[in-house]
Structure 1
């Protein structure tokens, strides 16, 4: 590559896609990235859809999923949407299967050691899970003994999910995006 002060003396690395040294390849990359953006993690979840993947431009960041400008707040007039979930709480050697449209408030009144998983659904899904795991249910309660079948179901719900709360927040954000 030729610079104002003469040709570049740096060697081209084997396998480089262009006949440029590493420094000039990076300069070319930065030149293109200013218009097409660079995929990277957002500093926090998108307020609209909950995604953490963004596109970085010199002028700022946008969500890679819904293209909401990171840092912009959704309209104040939108109420927090209701997202009904079936939740799985672990407490000692028991698991509670319940449902709520506001699990943060609900969990404040429940004994639990850990939020194990969420799945989208209302009372219909909750009742289906109660029937599915009925052999291990403590009579008259929504609490179940820990057993392989239930643990396998929870593991399936958790597949690829490091934090159930992040998943729940994403569902709420997506519902909010659908309202706007």
Structure 2
């Protein structure tokens, strides 16, 4: 026997139905910037961070701080090398550093960065944060990259998780 539901609860039930369809969001997700969403009968959510399309993040809240260790690759006349650095604002930081490829982000701050510098110290260019590209370093980058093709997607996920944990 059907149970009468108010509009809000009817929408909630529709969201529980399986069969969401991957689709393009009407605009970039206000939380992570992704354009890929999943459309359900009751609305759409971002495919990256699962933010419900149409909900506006609280403008009074500062964006969550997510520190990352980044791995940049540079190939030029002086060789093939990888920079290991850290930042809480990767777009701004990476714009200031000459490089060809962003290889990966690893969640962590200066403590993790120092640990990586010590781990690969034998291949470090003296006085810099650049390291010779070795199979060991590339294997490490593959592991911390978690199989994600685009490091920015991983960063978006970490930021949305941090925001969700904040409540």
TM-score range, shorter chain: 0.7 to 0.9
Match of 1:103 in 2: 90
Q: Does 1:131 align with 2:118?
A: yes
Identify the match of residue 90 of structure 1 among 44, 67, 73: 73
Structure possessing the higher radius of gyration over alpha carbons: 1
Q: Does 1:56 align with 2:40?
A: yes
Q: State TM-score, norm by structure 1.
A: 0.70
Range with bigger deviation, 112-121 or 64-73: 64-73
Alpha-carbon distance between aligned partners in 2 of 1:166 and 1:66, rounded to the nearest angstrom: 9
Specify whether residues 49 and 40 from structure 1 end up closer, same or farther in structure 2 by C-alpha distance, changes over 3 A only.
farther
Q: Does 1:152 align with 2:133?
A: no
- What is the number of equivalent residue pairs in this alignment? 147
Match of 2:4 in 1: none
Match of 2:20 in 1: 39
Alpha-carbon distance between aligned partners in 2 of 1:84 and 1:106, rounded to the nearest angstrom: 12
Q: Which blocks of at least 5 consecutive residues in structure 2 are unaligned? A: 1-13
Q: Give the 3-state SS of the residue equivalent to 1:104 in structure 2.
A: helix
Q: Which blocks of at least 5 consecutive residues in structure 1 are unaligned? A: 1-32
Q: CA RMSD in A?
A: 2.8
Provide, for residues 34-88 of structure 1, a one-character-per-residue CA deviation record: whole Å limited to 9, x for no partner: 872422335357555889664511x322468986422322111111111000000
Q: Does 1:167 align with 2:154?
A: yes
Alpha-carbon distance between aligned partners in 2 of 1:96 and 1:49, rounded to the nearest angstrom: 25
Alpha-carbon distance between aligned partners in 2 of 1:154 and 1:173, rounded to the nearest angstrom: 23
Asked if the contact 1:50–1:171 (Cα under 8 Å) also holds between the matched residues in 2, the reply is no
Provide, for residues 133-160 of structure 1, a one-character-per-residue CA deviation record: whole Å limited to 9, x for no partner: 0110001110000001000001112232
Alpha-carbon distance between aligned partners in 2 of 1:35 and 1:61, rounded to the nearest angstrom: 12
